[in-house]
Structure formats: C-alpha cells, structure tokens
Amino acid sequence: LIAQLLGLYRFVWSEQPRCQKHFILTRFQQLTTGVVAVIHLKLFTVEKNKGGSWRCVAVVFVQGPCCRFGKLSLFDFVMALRFLTLENVIDYLETLPPEDQMNAEVCQLPPLCEDSNLTDEEPIEENDLAEVMPLDVCGELDVTLDSDVIEDADDLYESSDSQTWSKRKSLNHVFENVPVLPLSTLAPELIPLNPIELFYKIMPKEEMAHFAEMTERYALQKGVTLSVEEEDIEKFFGLLLLSGYNCVPCENMFWSTAEDLAVPIARATMSRNRFHDLKKYFHIVDNMTLQEGDKLAKISPMYENMGKRLRQWGIFSEALSIDQCMVPYCGNRSCKMFIKGKEIRFGFKVWTMASSSGYPYAMQIYAGKERDRNKEPLGFSVVKQMVSHLSEPNKYHVYFDSFFTSPHLMKELTQKGIKATGTIRDARIRNCPLMRPEVITEKSRGYFDHTCDGDMYVCRWNDNVTVTIASNYHTHFPVGSVKRYSRAEKKHVNITQPNIIRQYNQCVNGVSVMDKMLSSYRPKIRSKKWWWSLFSHALNMAVVAAWKLHRELHTTTSDQLSHLEFRRFITIHLLHAMPFVRSQPGPRSHLPMSLRSSHGHYLQSCTQGRCAFCKKNCRNECVLCKKRLHRNCFPFYHGLA
C-alpha cells in the first residue's frame, strides 16, 4: 500500500544484454504515461551470485500513483537468468529456498542468431535423418524463477476503461446468418478427381516447372551445368514425401543394396548422386531478384502462391480457427522463435487460418517485429490480415485464443460483420465486473458468471481451471451440460456448461488438427539450406490440404481414403513421373588374337583404369588395342609369353 501511494516501482533482473535493460525502462515509460514527472532514477548492482550471474535493482520514484490505466500495483519483474554451463545452473539452484527450486524452469536455448546474405547453407549433418534436438545446437541455459505471467504492452494497449457492463443476455447488434455453400456445390468438378489430381490443384505442374527453371539457374550461378526437367522435380518431391512414412536412419540408405535396408522404389526412381545434386541446387526464386531487407524472400513467394490456390474455390467453412503453427527448426536464423510449453519449442512461426476440420486457407510466416506496424498489437494485426481474405465476412465465425482476443479486436470485427469468439486475458478486461478467478474457483464445478457491455459478451466458467471467454455473437444461452470425473464421488457426473464454451471447444482446434496431420508423416530428409524446413512444411501441407479436400468431397466412409493411403497414392505417382533407366555395363569386347599379335603394339601413358589382363588399376594402354595393360601384363595379353 505504501509503495502504491509513493508510486514506487521496483524492477529486478539478472545480468542481461543492453536490449533487455532497455525493454525494462521502455516498459516503465509506457506504464507512467501521463504522470507529472519522474523524480529519481537510480541503477545499482548487488554482489555477484554463486551461480555466476549479477543481480541488479532499478528503483524508480514517481510523483503520483496513477497513470492512464488507473492505479498500478507494485510490479516485480523477475527476468530469466542465463548461464553458460549446466554446472553453474545446479550451483545456483542449490542456493535457492526449496519452494523456489520447485518453481524453477530450466531451458536450453539455441545459439545466437547470425543472418548472412552470402550463403543459404548451415553446418548440419544432412545424411542423418534423426530428429534434430536443441542439444545439437546448444547455447545458453535459461532459468526462470518466477512462474507468474507478466503483462505485456499489448495487454495494456488492449485494455479499456470506457465500457459499461451489465448482466443482460443479449448484444446490441444482430448478425445476418448467411449459409456457406459446401465444396461439392462450389466445385463439383473436383468430385471425380483422384488423389494426385487433387494434389496438382494445390501444387500444379507449372509450379514444379518453375522450380526446375530456378534450380537450373542457381546451378549455373554456381558454375555447374545441371539439366532439370519438371519430371525431375516431381520425382524429387516424391522421394521427400516417401521419407515421411518409409523411414531409414540415414538418407543414403534409401539407395542401399542390403536386403534389410533396401528401398527398391527409391533406387528405381533416380540415382543417389542425381538426388544429391537436385537437393544441393534446388531453389524457389532467383537470387538475383531478391528484395534487400526481406528476410523471407527465398521462401515467401511459395507460401503466397499456395495460399491463393488454397482459396481458389472460396472459403467453404463457416467456423474458422486462427492460431500459430510451429515449423521445427533449430538453426541460426533470426526468424527462429522459441515458445515455452509447446510441443515444438524451436522453429519458425507461421500464422494460419484453417477450418475447424483442419483445411488451411491462409498462411503468413512471422519474421519478427515489424517497424511499420502502427503500434497495433501483434495479435490484432494478425487477425486483421487473416480476415482480409474473407470476401463475404458476414458468412463466417472466427475463433482464436487469448493471445489475440481483446475488446478492441471484437469491436473491429463487429464493424466488419464478422462473428468472433475467443478466450481473453484478465488484464484486457480490467474493469469487467466478473467474479475474480480465485473467488469463482471456490464455487461448485460448472458455476459461471457473465456480463455484457452491448458489444462484447464475457463469461467466466469454473472447470478444471477457470476459463474466461469473450464473444460478439455467442452467449451462455442455451446452457448445456458436460461430463466430468468427480474425485469425491469417484464417477463421471454432469456439470453445467455455457453454450459459448461448448461452441468454442468445438471450433477452435482447426489449426491444431492440421498440425497433427502435418506431424504424422513429416518428411525426414534434411538440407543445409536454412529455408528447407519451411519448404518441406509447404510441400507437406499441400498433401494434407488435398486430403482434406478429398474428405470434404466424399462424405461416406466407404469412399474415403485414410491419410496414409492418400499420401502413398500421391508419392507413388510422383516417383513414377518418368521412368529411370539405369545404365548397365555391357559385355566386354575381346580382340581376336590375330590383331593382338600384329606389329606396332607398344604402351603409352593414359588415364587410370582397369587392366584388361589382371583387372587391377593401371595408367598404361596399348596404342593399337586401346586396352589398359601393365608392363608385366603386356606380353601375356598379346600372346608373347
């Protein structure tokens, strides 16, 4: 209370780079906008800890306890500690109280990012098809001691004090319900198509011909003459897809002749050296036309073109899910993201809009913070970009999680005529008269509280955890029920569930469903190119999207192919795009003895090859017979010995 009255804010962080300290001070400046004056600012350092890190404290006295977001509590920022070795981490954790040791979270980070315009390649082992783990590219060890979630600037930007809340059950606006036509009605010509024909609709042969041209051009830029046809790219793609479900420990083993490792279809498709050449020089765009400053210029055209083809029949799903999709990557590019608590923690982040069944409609690779974002929160700008692809917005209902949801976003979508529902953070509805989470947790399971300001309906429900959800369309009515296991009664019981929760759970997992399909048979073949994982992800997504089209067009189970059956059909067809004729050595020609014994035979130097008599390597040949012979083998071959 004294700290609030005096306006005292205490920031604590360990040894951090300058940019981290700048973030703290910038954050403080944002919080104190509108305050009369800053009286005192002092930074001082405490002694070095046993773990090898420095502990710094910044104490700031501010005149007046209020700012534009109302009265602020004491903020204690406990930033992550960084160590170079695991031994230092253990030494540091041993100095902590037992309760802090239980809450400590240790994570191994990749090395610092270093972008380079000089080369695409990274120092990885291409032949090894085992999963790349962060241990392979270890950097610093990150130790987080405070498990509390710290509000970010977006939360503060998104919060609003101008709303007037009440317990009403209806919203001020009414959406027009326009039916969405099914795919079979929008594109009946797709119904008789087989899997490979559906795949060509998303990854057409014209695109593969373009890849072949770019690959040839890149090889020429490297001083290599490489002839690449459209069929070569098809077979190349087929081998990549084959590696997703027919796995061997090493890439070269696809061409092994051992009976326990052999993959005959791979050896019959193309030679190993040919595959290595295609992978080495494969390119999507011309390096001479890259836009300076665009970190994703080598891969983004493929995603832009694929997004247009995914929407070529319109958007045929009413419920749409917007979320992030992580592409595994542990290299050294600055576009790489690290997200704690996710199944894929290291990789590229791809913002995705998909149907509730998992068909993707739009993709956007996240390259980091943009300078010209006009101070819009990231979640707001992502949703705004995704819904821009909706030609008739009043047909659709979008669902997203708490990263995106805010009163500002709900108001924007309402004005566009788009229905929206999503979980929401408490910091973004500060003055909302709902029961506090700690209060509602004490109520019976299934209890919920709700409120509405006319534009947005908010409901807080007590389940295993407290869930807060907002919508500009759904409310709690009609109230339903759901089964949950009761430990007290040791059986499943029915608890109350608001309609807004039920609708959200049914429709929000579209991107997660797509992620599951992508991870089922993800191509294993790797490359030194940093953008390879994004390219492989796009190829994999083309197969998944084609399979989702197949499922959408064939509603009866008897007509539907499983994901693996569908993928195998495409792979086998691509591998057989053009017959591969392997050159076989013909029968050895033997000169008649009459020619061997004639005059004028003598040895001269030549390139290394097999001796015609003893079959060992030699560098001499007969000038008339044109056969390589050792000096000692010459008389025996010519019948002189």
Q: What is the pLDDT of residues 221-231, one digit of tens each?
A: 999 999 999 99
Query: Higher-confidence residue: 91 or 568?
Result: 568
Residue with more model confidence, 317 or 50: 317
Through-space distance between the first and last CA atoms of the chain, rounded to whole angstroms: 112
If one compares 165 and 275, the residue with the highest pLDDT of the two is: 275
What pLDDT does residue 24 have? Answer: 53
- Please give the Cα distance from 421 to 406 (Å, whole number): 10
Q: Does 163 score more than 60 pLDDT? A: yes
What helix, strand, coil percent values describe the chain, rounded to 5? 35, 20, 45
Residue-wise pLDDT tens digits, 379-427:
999 999 999 999 999 999 999 999 999 999 999 999 999 999 999 999 9
| Closest among 58, 70, 71 to 28, alpha carbons compared | 58
- For residue 550, give the nearest of 115, 58, 193 by alpha carbon: 193
Name, in order, each residue with C-beta under 8 angstroms of 582's C-beta and a sequence gap of 6 or more. 268, 271
pLDDT at 545: 98
- In this prediction, residues 462-488 reach a mean pLDDT of 94
Mean pLDDT (whole number) for 464-487 = 94
Q: How confident is the model at residue 331 (pLDDT cuts 50, 70, 90)?
A: confident
More confident residue, 558 or 560: 560
Which range among 11-25, 325-339, 392-406, 436-450 shows the weakest confidence by mean pLDDT?
11-25
**pLDDT-derived band of residue 582, with 50, 70 and 90 as boundaries?**
low
Average pLDDT value for residue range 490-499: 95
Please state whether beta strands 603-610 and 466-471 pair in parallel, antiparallel, or not at all (unpaired). Answer: unpaired
At residue 179 the predicted structure's pLDDT band, cuts being 50, 70 and 90, is very high
539 — pLDDT class (breaks 50, 70, 90): very high
Q: How confident is the model at residue 580 (pLDDT cuts 50, 70, 90)?
A: low
Window from 40-54, 92-106, 358-372 with minimum mean pLDDT: 40-54
Phi and psi dihedrals of 334, rounded to 5? Answer: -70, -15
Q: Report residue 378: phi and psi, to 5°.
A: -60, -45
Each residue of 108-148: pLDDT tens digit?
665 554 444 446 677 677 877 776 655 444 556 666 654 43
Highest mean pLDDT among 267-281, 594-608, 624-638: 267-281
CA separation (Å) from 591 to 346, 377, 626, 637?
Answer: 65, 83, 10, 10
Parallel/antiparallel/unpaired status of strands 76-78 and 105-108: unpaired
Helices (H) and strands (E) in the chain, counts: 21, 22
Instruction: Report the range of poorest mean pLDDT among 57-66, 351-360, 511-520.
Output: 57-66
% pLDDT > 90, the chain: 55
More confident position, 397 or 477: 397
User: What gap in Å lies between CA 559 and CA 363, rounded to an integer?
Assistant: 30
The whole-number pLDDT of residue 470 equals 97
Would you call the peptide bond into 192 cis, given omega within 30 degrees of 0 as the criterion? no
415: tokens are 């004005």
Average pLDDT of every residue of the chain: 81
Indicate the residue type of 185. Answer: T
- Residue 189 is given by DSSP the state G
The pLDDT assigned to 335 comes to 83
> Residue 151 pLDDT more than 60?
no
Structure token digits, residue 248: 């061997």
Contact present, 616 and 629 (Cβ < 8 Å): no
CB 482 within 8 A of CB 493: no
pLDDT at 239 over 60: yes
pLDDT at residue number 483? 94
